Amino acid sequence: MTRFNIVKRDDLPKNVEWLIRILAILFSIVCAGLVIWVLGYNPFVIFPSMVSGALGTEIRLTQTVLKAIPLVVTSLGILIAFKMKFWNIGGEGQIIMGALAAAYVALNIEGLPKPVMLLLMALAAMIMGGLWAFIPAFFKAKMGVNETIFTLMLNYIAIKFVTYLQYGPWKDPESQGFPKVATFHDNAILPKLFGIHIGWVIALVLVVFIYIFINHTKKGFEITVVGESKETARYAGMNISSIIIVAMFISGGLCGLTGMIQASAVEKTLAASLSGGYGFTAIITTWLSRLNAIAVLFVCVAFAILLQGGAYIQVSMQIPAAVADMMQGIILFFVLGSEFFLQYKVSIPDRRRSKVQREVA
């Protein structure tokens, strides 16, 4: 039986790193193309159609940007937690709870100027999202509870609670029987800039802010140190419990802001489906970015192109959704798999040398 040695890489030249990434993308495209061909479709038609479907016209480009905005903001939030090696799988619930807080402000406070209303909605969403993330952070810091399961379960609590409100206490009496929360007033809707809501401006500002926060502030340094080694952080006199709680509050707050953006600019109301799976998708984009805020922007845009392109070929070419999802899965499998080879070196030991070593021993 062939045995393999897996050794963690100390340092990898940038040119080799880029070569591995490019090869992963090329192999994923070839493999996805073969699967498409086996299923009876022409990959030389499908792939250009996906690119055209994401970038080909102004409307399609707009849809791609609309998908990228929540991915970027949520990924930045999850990045804060992952930088500390706190596995926040609760982005979905934090988005929903942020949207809930923003909706409460929008539906119950009247007469405020639009900038004040939007600012109040954003603050409420960030506080609520932060509090929703604070719960598992507190139990992790104080009792060592597994944060992965805790944050995952909180997703379902948030979704079911908003579903209850949508079908019950918050149901719009004028919705003609449909389980729908009332539509926001105009002063609670994010304005547009260049035909797209200003969420894209918020996303760009946050990319710069989080990059500076992580790399050039004391708190960002503390978060990084805790993620690399809690023992080192403890030796340096850092309050680890406090750092975990603060970092998770920021992480949840950013995810909550995503909820406000989606509720205000896209749905224009509160809905249990508002998060759209962005909280889970952002886990992938955050990991692919190697926890770099600038890289998050480019990875999320690329992923949004993939999502929009997949949606386009379903409609325009009548390709089943399962085929489009499978293509996305294959591409992600190869790209994520390349991360393994970026961090570890795989080799086959020389049997003859091993035999000589045993004889000498």
Q: Which of 288, 293, 276, 294 is nearest to 331 (CA)?
A: 288
Structure confidence at residue 175 as a pLDDT band (50, 70, 90): confident
Q: Which of 279, 286, 223, 270 is nearest to 252 (CA)?
A: 279
Structure confidence at residue 342 as a pLDDT band (50, 70, 90): confident
Beta bridge pairs of residue 5: 347
pLDDT tens digits for range 232-259:
888 888 888 899 999 999 999 999 999 9
Which of 46-50, 157-161, 272-276, 347-351 is predicted with the least confidence, judged by mean pLDDT? Answer: 347-351
**Higher pLDDT pick, 236 / 262:** 262
Q: Which of 129, 121, 180 is nearest to 155 (CA)?
A: 129
| Nearby residues of 117 by Cβ (< 8 Å), 6 or more positions away | 105, 106, 109, 187, 188
Query: Is residue 196 scored above 60 in pLDDT?
Result: yes
Which of 36-45, 75-84, 128-137, 212-221 is predicted with the least confidence, judged by mean pLDDT? Answer: 36-45
In this prediction, residue 349 carries a pLDDT of 67
> What percent of the chain lies above the pLDDT cut of 90?
41
**Higher pLDDT pick, 20 / 92:** 92
In this prediction, residue 339 carries a pLDDT of 75
In this prediction, residue 4 carries a pLDDT of 66
Query: Is residue 22 scored above 80 in pLDDT?
Result: yes
In this prediction, residue 43 carries a pLDDT of 86
Q: What is the mean pLDDT of residues 303-325?
A: 83
Question: Which tokens hold the place of 212?
Answer: 């500076």
In this prediction, residue 189 carries a pLDDT of 92
The phi and psi torsions of 59 (rounded to 5 degrees) equal -65, -45
Q: Which residue is listed with tokens 């926001």?
A: 184
Query: Is residue 190 scored above 90 in pLDDT?
Result: yes
In this prediction, residue 147 carries a pLDDT of 87
Determine the distance from the C-alpha atom of residue 205 to the mean position of all C-alpha atoms in its chain, rounded to a whole number. 17
| Nearby residues of 148 by Cβ (< 8 Å), 6 or more positions away | 87, 89
First to last CA, the chain: 23
In this prediction, residue 102 carries a pLDDT of 95
Q: What is the mean pLDDT of residues 211-220?
A: 92
Structure confidence at residue 200 as a pLDDT band (50, 70, 90): very high
Query: Is residue 88 scored above 80 in pLDDT?
Result: yes
Q: Which of 77, 58, 73, 90 is nearest to 264 (CA)?
A: 73
Query: Is residue 355 scored above 70 in pLDDT?
Result: no
Could you tell me the pTM of the whole model? 0.87
Which of 14-28, 211-225, 305-319, 345-359 is predicted with the least confidence, judged by mean pLDDT? Answer: 345-359
Q: Number of H helices and number of E strands within the chain?
A: 14, 4
Domain ranges of the chain: 1-40+322-361, 67-301
Q: What is the mean pLDDT of residues 93-117?
A: 92
In this prediction, residue 257 carries a pLDDT of 96
Query: Is residue 260 scored above 90 in pLDDT?
Result: yes
Which of 24-33, 57-66, 93-102, 263-272 is predicted with the least confidence, judged by mean pLDDT? Answer: 24-33
